[in-house]
Amino acid sequence: MSSNFYKKKLEELLFVCKRNIGSEKVNEDLISKAFRFALEAHKNDKRATGEPYFHHPYEVAMIMAKEIPIDDVSVASALLHDVLEDSEFTIKDVRAEFGDEIAEIVEGASQIEGIFENYEITVADSFKKLLLSMASDLRILLVKFADRLHNLRTIEQLPQQRQIRIAQDTLEIFAPFAHRFGLSNIKAEMEDLSFKCLNRNVYDDIANKLKERKRERDKFLKRFIEPIDEALKKENYKFEITSRVKHIYSIYRKMLRINKPIDEIYDLFAVRVILDTANKYDCFSAYGIISQIYIPVPERFKDYISLPKQNGYQSIHTTVVSKEGKLVEVQIRTREMHEFAEKGIAAHWKYKENIRISDKKLEEWMKWIRETIENAGKDDVSSSQIFESFKLNLYQDEIYCFTPKGELKILPYGATPLDFAFEIHTEIGMRCIGAKVNGKIVSLDTPLKSGSQVEIITSKNQTPKKDWEKIVVTQKAKADIRKYFNTEKRKIALKGKDIFEKKLKKKKIHINEDELIRIVQKYRYKDLLNFYYAIGIEESRADEMIGIILNKSKILTAEQTPGLIKETELSTIDLKHEKFIKEIRESIGSITIGDSSDPNTIQGIKYDFAKCCNPIPGDEVVGYITRTEGLRIHRRNCNNIINLYLMDPNRIIDVNWNISIHDTFSGGIVIIGEDRKGLVNEITELISKNFGVNIKSININTKGSLFEGTLILEVKDLKQLNSIIEKISHHKSIIRASRFG
């Protein structure tokens, strides 16, 4: 193409940059230099469409200038974003020509592209690496938004498999991020183009039906807008009224959500009233005027001006009933609010000169991203866990809840009182035993609703439970809970290490760490932490390993004195124990508690019940073959047995209950309630009167107006224990009753 053609293209780009970024803030020489550099780098390359490759970086830069007008550096970086991948220029060349700032953005954008081109890397891993690169300079991701959007606009030229991959990645990652940064236009176009690629038939069907109704819709909107226009002019407002049809992917998701065809969805469009005013309270006055013309639907009023969304979005949303009886959504906002709704982060970009305001919420979110990834590395959090948590924070609707003192907490839709507790403070979450929502006691897994006042009830004796991670939805709560259990594991491991080292010292055994690691890994332990943790749970593990180490030393003697000791004598203690386990498995298969006349043995094998979980008839149970104490019976879901199974599944054996067993068993119940005189007597009388069981012990702790107590009962089986728990739960003063252990 001629030089005049490219000269005109450069002039167009500079014009858009100066119009949207500001003439005084645009370095024309920088953009012109980047334009010529990219043109030279890609001069011999063609796209799949057959057009010159330079067309792509140019269009990416134009998207940056039009849709995300941050600064001239980001536009120059967009022009250069592919030079490292598709030309002979290196990062050193870019740095030498344009400096460190642009070089880092270009390099970051290239690395992200490499992530998504590698099909061996999962989406979750790609997402994690995307977060890491973004945390260094946000403009890296913004350039990738523009790059991805142009790729979607020209996606039909690519092979089908590659189209599907790009579209899926966009819906999973890029569109949610665009939503988080308030880039509504980019998000909507990304979603529609991706949906068109992945489900063309449904896309075309919705698009055709929208097109068929366009004339009818335009006439209706004209009739609807006219009285609003007249009323606002009468009050001397300067304003603009526009309307928009909801984008296709949004309509499709609503069709799925309410399970109705498009013909039965009436709010397919929204009317926007954009006021040219600096006074945000004018929006409420305009709402008052409109509600005099059309009847508003109270439950569909949303005030995002007083309580902005986490991405900074502000507007009043209301739904009114038209003269024809149709529901119409009306959005009312100032011009500045509208600019942010359309441009998102670009409207709040923080310049070094402090020309624009700082987006503090975004800065806090970026800090949270960095800390989350750093903590994830310390706490063995998988990429998929990070991915799911971030998707929740990026894309879900928000709810607004308040503490009793009126402090606002913004949480994702689906959050529970437990999430709310951790949002207040980690320690509050750790000690949470219950909650009151609008003065009413609720369980910890109750989904919260916007506008609720939430009071968290705590106890100094409370610690996190394993099932809490399933209850909470926020990344903070999940991370805090995981951190607690990882810390507890390390404490148990330190205790185990101390036990092991004392036993080694007593036996006068010396072994270096490398040799110990080699031995423990051979005997089914992942590493020393898990080995010491196993000892912390069951001390006999230390004796087993010492026996193995002692027999290892016998092998060494045999090697030094050939013929005296055979290699088959390796780990005599371990081999005897393996033989014992094998004999039990071959002769029994599974065992039944209650079959023997001796209450302390099962088919001749000594047994007892684990104190960590106190199994009772009706529980699913398994047996663990200890070295010196026979068989120990655990509940199948006991945390300790799960850990023991992971370390040595060969020592786990199936156990059943004899349904005719007549023994009684210890069952514990934890109760939390509102403390008042005579309550303990009421509870004990309730148990005795309805169930006739013996109460072995009661332990009660009070805190203010609340109490937490533990009851130990003699029960026949799980069914009876559950019946007692259910009966106690229905008492008017009890917040929660649950099984202990």
Does the annotation count 86 as an active-site position?
A: yes
61 and 78 Cβ atoms separated by less than 8 Å: yes
**SS3 assignment, position 219:** helix
Q: Which of 85, 427, 595, 629 is catalytic?
A: 85
Instruction: Read off the amino acid at residue 733.
Output: S
Give the Cα separation of 262 and 46 in Å (integer): 42
Phi and psi angles of residue 714, each rounded to the nearest 5 degrees, phi first: -100, 115
655 and 592 Cβ atoms separated by less than 8 Å: yes
729 and 669 Cβ atoms separated by less than 8 Å: no
Give the Cα separation of 695 and 711 in Å (integer): 7
Instruction: Read off the amino acid at residue 221.
Output: L
Phi and psi angles of residue 612, each rounded to the nearest 5 degrees, phi first: -70, -30
Residue closest to 361 by CA, chosen among 181, 183, 185? 181
Half-sphere CA count of 10, side-chain side, radius 13 A:
19
**SS3 assignment, position 311:** coil
Residue closest to 482 by CA, chosen among 466, 460, 459? 466
| Tokens matching residue 563 | 């013929």
Does the annotation count 88 as an active-site position?
A: no
89 and 83 Cβ atoms separated by less than 8 Å: yes
Give the Cα separation of 147 and 9 in Å (integer): 18
Determine the longest span between alpha carbons in the chain, in angstroms. 111
How many CB atoms neighbour CB 211 within 10 A? 9
Residue closest to 434 by CA, chosen among 411, 409, 458, 416? 458
| Tokens matching residue 248 | 């296709």
Q: Which of 86, 303, 388, 543 is catalytic?
A: 86
Instruction: Read off the amino acid at residue 741.
Output: G
Give the Cα separation of 256 and 244 in Å (integer): 21
Give the Cα separation of 51 and 47 in Å (integer): 6
- Interior CA angle at 242 toward 236 and 243, to 5°? 140
Please give the sequence-ordered ranges of beta strands (E in DSSP) within 177-290, or none if there are none.
239-245, 269-275
388 and 125 Cβ atoms separated by less than 8 Å: no
Interior/surface letters 314-353, b for 16+ CB within 10 angstroms, e for the rest:
bbbbbbbeeeeeeebbbbbbbebbbebbebbbbbbbbeee
Strand 665-674 to 631-635 pairing: unpaired
332 and 290 Cβ atoms separated by less than 8 Å: yes
| Tokens matching residue 434 | 């219950």
How many CB atoms neighbour CB 395 within 10 A? 16
Catalytic residues: 85-86
